């Protein structure tokens, strides 16, 4: 019998991501005769695609079918894994898990499963058969987690729908830019996280008697529905109070940026030049970010509002965030250039040019804006704090700017519309003597050069 000893992550995607550790990827790549780098990239596309497909299925009324599949399908507490490391020691174990998981993903994705595998194969560099095996293995682990919840904690169709739709924005944001075709196949653009934000799967192991998700009661079907109604009523009151408190707090306190990143080798860099620090540019930064002294402070972030773009596009952005300000500028009558915007909600992994998963949705919004305004041209400028070697910082700042450009061009934005520059630590906006100041200096600026 499989056991679980670690604490469940705050969301389903995070939990599945943890299963594919470097050692698991290495073993799996040997079984599939693929390189670890290609397998890792395939996993990065597979997990959000699989969860997106499941969310789409339950969002279209298929939650009952998924519950039936867990009850009557190939799920077994004794043989279905909830930890990928338990089924990659041998080819035989992996093959059995893949076979069981394939039934589950076919129930989720239907006829789209082979086509999604083709997309993932093209994106990652693995063979289509390997992509399908990776999807199936991930499906086996997902089936193990949900099946254990259904059998032991009474997971219902309503619980499943609430859990998955509550994390739609997280899943959609994690889907790599290069897999936009998968989003179309799954209908992810039509899904929206219900009001109240992501649903969290909160801690616990499977043998403590505490549900992984406290929203899932142990009761008969009739009692469970009545309990859910009562629970939801009180939860909505509590959530409303919490949101009001957070809004008040956000309005009173300044926000700070966080360091982070994503790699790409595509580059079109201009030579380092003198940064525009004229009064008009500084005023533009102030107007775009709603601050009088620190343009990196975005204001009351966290309240997401829909923004309509030309061509019928729509993005959901945090108020006064980079994308909200850029979209408002492009829709305004006064579109004088150059106009500088601080990409406040773009973060990178420390010391690298790898864009964090949490930032993908913000980058996707920029892609949507540039697709909606085909004449929009920008300059992406990278900056660092003064920690470390000056030459290293200059290269890192340029690499980060190039990573943004690479993500945009990968999504189909013409390379001629984007230029990059790296200033290293030479253009600070705050003191480097404090952690707060260094956090403000680690930034990406986007300058609109043509509309």
Cβ atoms < 10 Å from Cβ of 146: 24
Q: Decide: 389 and 254 in contact? Cβ < 8 Å.
A: no
At 56 the pLDDT is: 84
Residue whose entry in the numeric block shows the structure tokens 């290269």: 395
- The two counts, helices (H) then strands (E), for the chain are 16, 6
At 192 the pLDDT is: 59
Q: Decide: 317 and 323 in contact? Cβ < 8 Å.
A: yes
- Quick one: average pLDDT of 267-291? 44
Q: Decide: 364 and 275 in contact? Cβ < 8 Å.
A: no
CB environment 422-450: b (16+ within 10 A), e (fewer):
bbbbbbbbbeeeeeebbbbbbbbbbbbee
Calculate what percentage of the chain has a pLDDT beyond 90: 23
Helix crossing, 112-124 with 36-57: angle to 10°? 150
- Quick one: average pLDDT of 391-419? 91
Q: Which has more confidence, 270 or 230?
A: 230
- Quick one: average pLDDT of 44-69? 85
At 369 the pLDDT is: 94
Question: What are the pLDDT digits (tens) for 300-338?
Answer: 344 678 889 998 888 888 888 899 999 999 999 889 999
Question: What are the pLDDT digits (tens) for 286-295?
Answer: 444 444 333 3
d(CA 304, CA 205): 33
- Quick one: average pLDDT of 191-195? 58
Q: Decide: 36 and 26 in contact? Cβ < 8 Å.
A: yes
Q: Which has more confidence, 127 or 296?
A: 127
- Quick one: average pLDDT of 433-448? 92
When pLDDT is cut at 50, 70 and 90, the band that residue 421 belongs to is very high
Residue 358 pLDDT > 70: yes
pTM: 0.45
Residue 4 pLDDT > 50: no
At 100 the pLDDT is: 84
d(CA 140, CA 69): 12
- Quick one: average pLDDT of 92-117? 86
When pLDDT is cut at 50, 70 and 90, the band that residue 198 belongs to is very low
At 95 the pLDDT is: 87
At 449 the pLDDT is: 94
CB environment 295-312: b (16+ within 10 A), e (fewer):
bbbbbbbebbeebebeee
Mean pLDDT is lowest, of 136-150, 274-288, 388-402, for 274-288
Summary mean pLDDT of the chain: 75
Q: Decide: 134 and 28 in contact? Cβ < 8 Å.
A: yes
Mean pLDDT is lowest, of 14-23, 259-268, 283-292, 329-338, for 259-268
Q: What are phi and psi of 172, to 5 degrees?
A: -65, -40
Q: Which has more confidence, 118 or 241?
A: 118
């Amino acid at each position: 019998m499989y056991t679980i000893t670690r604490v469940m992550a705050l969301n389903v995607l995070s939990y599945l991501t943890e299963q594919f550790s470097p050692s698991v990827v290495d073993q799996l790549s040997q079984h599939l005769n693929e390189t670890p780098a290609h397998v890792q990239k395939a996993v990065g596309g597979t997990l959000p695609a699989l969860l997106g497909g499941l969310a789409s299925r339950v969002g279209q009324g298929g939650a009952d079918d998924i519950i039936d599949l867990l009850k009557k399908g190939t799920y077994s507490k004794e043989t279905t894994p909830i930890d990928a490391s338990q089924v990659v020691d041998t080819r035989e174990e992996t093959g059995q898990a893949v076979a069981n998981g394939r039934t589950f993903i076919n129930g989720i994705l239907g006829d789209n499963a082979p086509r999604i595998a083709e997309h993932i194969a093209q994106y990652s560099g693995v063979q289509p058969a390997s992509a399908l095996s990776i999807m199936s293995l991930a499906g086996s682990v997902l089936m193990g987690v949900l099946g254990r919840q259904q059998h032991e904690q009474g997971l219902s169709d309503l619980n499943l729908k609430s859990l998955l739709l509550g994390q739609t924005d997280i899943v959609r944001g994690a889907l790599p830019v290069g897999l936009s075709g998968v989003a179309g196949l799954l209908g992810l653009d039509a899904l929206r996280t219900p009001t109240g934000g992501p649903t969290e799967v909160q801690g616990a192991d499977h043998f403590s008697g505490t549900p992984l998700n406290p929203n899932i009661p142990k009761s008969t079907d009739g009692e469970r529905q009545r309990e859910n109604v009562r629970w939801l009523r009180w939860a909505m009151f509590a959530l409303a109070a919490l949101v009001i408190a957070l809004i008040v707090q956000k309005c009173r306190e300044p926000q700070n940026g966080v360091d982070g990143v994503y790699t790409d080798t595509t580059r079109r860099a201009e030579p380092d030049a003198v940064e525009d620090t004229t009064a008009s540019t500084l005023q533009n930064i102030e107007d775009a970010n709603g601050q009088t002294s620190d343009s990196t402070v975005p204001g009351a972030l966290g309240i997401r509002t829909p923004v309509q773009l030309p061509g019928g596009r729509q993005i959901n952005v945090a108020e006064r965030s980079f994308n909200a300000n850029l979209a408002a500028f492009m829709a305004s009558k006064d579109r004088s250039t150059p106009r500088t915007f601080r990409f406040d909600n773009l973060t990178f992994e420390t010391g690298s040019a790898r864009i964090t998963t949490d930032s993908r949705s913000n980058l996707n919004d920029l892609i949507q804006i540039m697709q909606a305004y085909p004449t929009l041209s920008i300059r992406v400028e990278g900056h660092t704090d003064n920690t470390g070697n000056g030459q290293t910082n200059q290269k890192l700042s340029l690499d980060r700017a190039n990573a943004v450009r690479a993500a945009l061009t990968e999504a189909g934005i013409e390379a001629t519309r984007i230029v990059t520059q790296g200033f290293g630590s030479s253009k600070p906006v705050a003191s480097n003597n404090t952690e707060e100041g260094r956090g403000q200096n680690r930034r990406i600026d986007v300058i609109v050069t043509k509309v």
